[in-house]
Amino acid sequence: MNLMHLKVFKTLAETESLSKTSKLLDLSQPSINHNIHVLEEHYKAKLIDRSNKKVKLTRFGEVLHRYIIDILHLIEQSEHHIEAMISEVKGHLSLGASHTIAENVIPKIMGMFNHDYPEVEIQLEVSNTQHIVDHILENKLDVGLIEGPVDNDNIVVKSFMQDELLVVLPFNHPLAVKKNLTLRELASLPFVLREKGSGTRVVMESALIKAGIDLSKLKTVMELGNTQAVIGAVEAGIGATILSGLAVSKETQLKTVKTCKISNVSIVRNFSLIFNKNHPLSSIAETFISFISSEETLKTFKNN
């Protein structure tokens, strides 16, 4: 049963004529009869009496007709309401995103949001988590999307999706054949890391400390300011790293790096939306937050 079935029934009930209904809806009479038959099968009741020249509703049909009038009216109202909401969402939205989110989540999100709200102009600042937090507090940004933890009473934090960090190795590295590395094997690797203040690095260090690894004993050979530079260094064989699985999905497909997990250690983090608790959100910012948190939006990443 769908909306067309309801519209056909309502029109037939009001015209009491197959021919008039056919002209109004530009449908053949067999098609009209099929629509009515679907409804009768669904409700398991006779809805139309065709014994006379005019089409008449049965008592079941009269009940359904009253409900259909209300249903179609509510649908029409919802369409007008949503059209009005979309037309109201226009103007400027200032976003900040940490590197992993900016490179792997934001492009798809912005494309989908722009499709639904074409009159919103989005300005995107890409930086590490700490800088995004600072700019939110200074009201330079409306909304931030970050990958690191935040501990500030003036920041509202809302998780919107999860991400897993993995060990990333050069494709031909001897340990790349393994699905899981021991802590001892991990400690033996030279590491290329994101800079201090990076959300990825904060989450990684916290997980390793919890697992009992002395960070001072990690062989850090290089620190770089963005994720792509880190991946490039790993591809060149300079060292291993720990990054989001999303961030290296293209490189794993191209077989320039391999990923593995750490035995008995799960590094799962939340990607979060943040905004200033003391600064009212604009209607555009509220719409964006609702959009990115919706199940329909998140499903596009779950299905990848």
Strands 180-181 and 155-170: unpaired
Whole-number pLDDT of residue 21: 87
- 161-269 matches 93-146+276-302 in CATH topology: yes
| Homologous superfamily of domain range 93-146+276-302 | Periplasmic binding protein-like II (3.40.190.10)
CATH of domain 3-88: 1.10.10.10
Three-state secondary-structure class, residue 13: helix
Q: For residue range 240-278, what is the model confidence (pLDDT) as tens digits? A: 999 988 889 899 999 999 999 999 888 888 899 999 999
- Residue 304 in this model has a pLDDT that exceeds 70: no
Q: Assess whether pLDDT exceeds 90 at residue 141.
A: yes
| Residue 144: both structure tokens together | 């931030």
User: Reduced to 3 states, what is the DSSP secondary structure of residue 74?
Assistant: helix
Return the CATH architecture of domain 161-269.
Answer: 3-Layer(aba) Sandwich (3.40)
Residue type at 44? K
What pLDDT does residue 296 have?
A: 79
Distance from C-alpha of 2 to C-alpha of 7, rounded to nearest angstrom:
9
Give 52's pLDDT tier (boundaries 50, 70, 90): low
Reported as a single tens digit per residue, the pLDDT across 96-132 is: 998 888 988 898 888 888 888 888 899 999 998 889 9
From CA 250, how far away is CA 304, in angstroms rounded? Answer: 12
For position 237, what pLDDT does the model report?
Answer: 95
Q: What is the pLDDT of residues 198-249, one digit of tens each?
A: 878 888 888 889 888 888 888 999 999 888 999 999 999 999 999 988 889 8
Please state, in angstroms and rounded to a whole number, the distance separating the CA atoms of residues 169 and 260.
8
| Terminal-residue alpha carbon distance, the chain | 31
Q: Where are the domains of the chain?
A: 3-88, 93-146+276-302, 161-269
User: Looking up tokens 């600042």, which residue turns up?
Assistant: 125
Q: Is the pLDDT of residue 58 over 80?
A: yes
